[in-house]
Structure 1
Amino acid sequence: MNMLVRLSIVSGCVVIAGIALCTVTAAESSEAPELFRSAANDGADRPTGRLLLRVNARQDEQAPANEPPVEDSEPPAEPDEPGAEDDTDETYYGQSVGKRVVFVIDVSWSMGSQDVGAGEDYDGNTVGSMTRMECVQYETVRLLRTLDESHAFDFVLLAGAEMKEPPGFPTSKPVTKLWKNQLTQCTEGARAEAIDFIQTIVMWFGTPTHAALERACNEYGSEIDNLFFLTDGAPYPVALGAAPGTMDGGGGSMGRNHKQAILEDFPGWFAPLRAYGCKLSCIHVGQDLGAGTFMQEFSAAMGAEYIRR
């Protein structure tokens, strides 16, 4: 018995001593921890990438119904208010108008014919049936009201003849007439004067187209943006240089054929203006077939814009 007791006591002491030794060793190792680092890579203790958390959406989940789809295109522009564009529209019978403009306007006796249909007067009131002259006057005044001081213009009135007018017709003189004989800046005063000039036009006999176009090309220099040529009839008299009191139509011994002379001479007159960039527009007013034939032939030969009104 005594031997067994002694063995038990010795075994217990050994166990207690082992536990104490482990405790001391653990305490010593916690006081000086060692960091193990790779000698080949000084970034071994850094994270090698970002931490990403991915969450799958539910298959039955939908976008909110009140959110409109996103489109690449811009929304359509709001339309302009009615009439807003007309007040600043610098066009003449649909043709754009530059800054320096010459108008050749037929004011011959036949412009009093009433065959151009309906339109609007100076104040925008509807006119059921206009004369050719009224059609031109209304459109010209409408344009003048849109111009400003950056514009300059003049008018060449196409009428007259170097011959005695037939009985019952108004005078055949002068042979063409200019408003200012120079390009005039569109100041407030000049605009008012020009409008009065157009509204009070008096028609007279003859259609001296050759003379009017020559003056339009030669008396204003070459720096002209637009040359507008308006007429309701073929050139008249038919022959240039017809003797006073005659209406020679042969164009033989009495002189050159009026229309042919224009087709031959105009390209030379217009060449400097064309080189500058001037645009020629030919506006046929009324229903005269002779005017239509001449204006279409002239427009085609000169590369001009042909407008029928």
Structure 2
Amino acid sequence: MTEKFSPAVMTLLDEAQALTRQNIQIELGTKKVGYIRHGQSRQIKNDDGSITIDVTDSTNVDYTVSHELLHLLLLQQGYPQIRFNLTTGEELLNRQLWATASELYNVVSHVVIGAQQQELKLVDEQVQAQYLAGILQEVPAEEKADRLVVFRTLALLDTLVFYRGDTTTFDQQFEQRYPAAYHGAQALYQVIANKSIDSPFTFRRALVNLFAAFDPWLTSVGLATTNHNQLITLDGVFSPRQQRLEVRQVFEILHSELNVREGGKSAYIGLGKNDQQNTFVLAAPAGEKQSAEFFKKVYGQSVQEFMQEQQIPFMERK
């Protein structure tokens, strides 16, 4: 199917295969709705280690395939990941909270991915029109007391990222069709738009800030908060100096009401002192004496030694 793609997409495909050291297959569906949405493709990891990019709609294969490849490349280029290490004990609630965290993570990812697509000239007026058509088709207009406020707001936030804050083509239409959600999306967009996002460190900072802003917005529309800063583990990004500091200088380790997802043990969360974001989760040894000795050792270790010993992923700030 590779003959269907532009040279820019083929270059991305070669780069992704080189970095993953895996064969990447692209499967194109026959459906063609005439608009684009980011849900029109997905990655599938096969049993043999190869990766399949399944494109369910072929309205604009260059845009959709490049978008998926760039997501894959972010994983290979040292950008921090979110991890669902904790459980509330309620599966439905878990899925809802993990879903909103994933959407917020993707929003920040799309800042980086969109900039790269722009550089590769994969976003033109046709793509912009197809994206807007997708929003209008799949995001229904607001009605009183409906339950789609979070879905709408996150979809419109992603739209603002796609258009890089330029609302010329849809501002008036969105004001009329989505007044509350559009207002919320604009406020959240400002949180990630005021500083550049072009490295793992700035990416992480933007996502932490977005997590922090999301709960006050939820409160403002009468919804329960997510506490993503504690529930969701976000890989750390540390300078060489920070890696040499003791754990006690960089983190607070707090006992949580939540449990470790794998095994169900009582959880301890490592919150960054600077940003109060969950960077790692520990299950302490059973027994008061063993637990005290364990944490005494942990707090005295260097961040690098501790992370490596506990096999906790982190990135080095360049």
TM-score (norm 1): 0.25
Answer 1 or 2: which has greater helix percent.
2
Larger radius of gyration: 1
